[in-house]
Structure 1
Amino acid sequence: MLLMASILLATSAPTSVAKGPSPSASAVESCALPEGWSEVASRQPRYVVFGELHGTQQGPAFIGNLACALASQKQRILVGVELDPTANVALQDAWKLPPGQFGQALVRAGWQARQDGVASQAMFALLVRLHKLKEAGLSIAVIAFDSDDAQERRFSDLAGYGPREAVQAENIHEAATRGSYDRVLVLTGNAHARKSRYGEGPESFDFMAARLASHAPVVSLDTRYATGTAWYCQIKKGLRLDPGQKITNDAVECGDHPAKGEIDLKRTPFIGLGAFPGEQPDSRYDGFLWLGPISGSPPLLPGG
Structure 2
Amino acid sequence: MIATLLAAALASSSTCTPVPGAEALWNDDTRYVVVGEMHGTTETPAAFADLVCAARAQGPVTVALEFSESMQPMLDAFMAADSDEAARAMLAAYPHGPFVHHDGRGSVAMLDLLLRLRAMQRETPSLKVIAFAPDTPRVPGFSQSYYELDMGHRLANAARKAPGSRLLVLVGNIHAQKKMIESRQLTPAIVHLPSTEVVSLYVVQQGGNTWSCGRDACGANPLPEIYDVQARGVVVQPYGDGAFDGVLALGPTTASEPAKP
TM-score after normalising by structure 2: 0.84
1:125 to partner: Cα distance: 1.0
Closer, same or farther: CA 107–78 of 1 in aligned 2, 3 Å: same
Which residue identity lines up with residue 193 of structure 1 in the other structure? A
1:124 corresponds to? 111
In structure 1, C-alpha distance between the alignment counterparts of 2:59 and 2:87, rounded to whole Å: 23
1:65 corresponds to? 50
Q: Post-superposition, which runs of at least 4 consecutive aligned residues in structure 1 deviate over 4 A?
A: none
Closer, same or farther: CA 258–208 of 1 in aligned 2, 3 Å: same
Work out whether residues 33 and 70 of structure 1, in 8 Å CA contact, stay in contact via their aligned partners in 2. no
Alignment size in residue pairs: 246
Counterpart check, 1:221 vs 2:201: yes
1:263 to partner: Cα distance: 4.7
Which of residues 253, 260, 265 is equivalent to 2:229? 265
Which residue identity lines up with residue 230 of structure 1 in the other structure? T
Which residue identity lines up with residue 237 of structure 2 in the other structure? G
- 1:288 is paired with a residue of what secondary structure? strand
Which residue identity lines up with residue 242 of structure 2 in the other structure? S
In structure 1, C-alpha distance between the alignment counterparts of 2:20 and 2:44, rounded to whole Å: 16
1:180 to partner: Cα distance: 4.5
In structure 2, C-alpha distance between the alignment counterparts of 1:95 and 1:144, rounded to whole Å: 12
Give a deviation string over 1:194-252, Cα, whole Å, max 9, x none: 1101338xx844201111236x711111111321110112223xxxxxxxxxxxxxxxx
Gaps of 5+ in 1: 1-27, 237-252
1:87 to partner: Cα distance: 1.8
In structure 1, C-alpha distance between the alignment counterparts of 2:227 and 2:180, rounded to whole Å: 28
1:134 corresponds to? 121
Work out whether residues 228 and 260 of structure 1, in 8 Å CA contact, stay in contact via their aligned partners in 2. yes
Aligned sequence identity (%): 28
In structure 2, C-alpha distance between the alignment counterparts of 1:76 and 1:98, rounded to whole Å: 23
In structure 2, C-alpha distance between the alignment counterparts of 1:113 and 1:167, rounded to whole Å: 24
Closer, same or farther: CA 123–29 of 1 in aligned 2, 3 Å: closer
Q: Rg larger in 1 or in 2?
A: 1
TM-score after normalising by structure 1: 0.73
Work out whether residues 31 and 165 of structure 2, in 8 Å CA contact, stay in contact via their aligned partners in 1. yes
Closer, same or farther: CA 181–129 of 1 in aligned 2, 3 Å: farther
1:173 corresponds to? 156
Which residue identity lines up with residue 67 of structure 2 in the other structure? L
1:245 corresponds to? none
1:32 to partner: Cα distance: 4.8
Counterpart check, 1:80 vs 2:64: yes
Give a deviation string over 1:56-115, Cα, whole Å, max 9, x none: 0111101111111221x1621111111112222211232221241223212211345421
Gaps of 5+ in 2: 1-12
Counterpart check, 1:195 vs 2:190: no
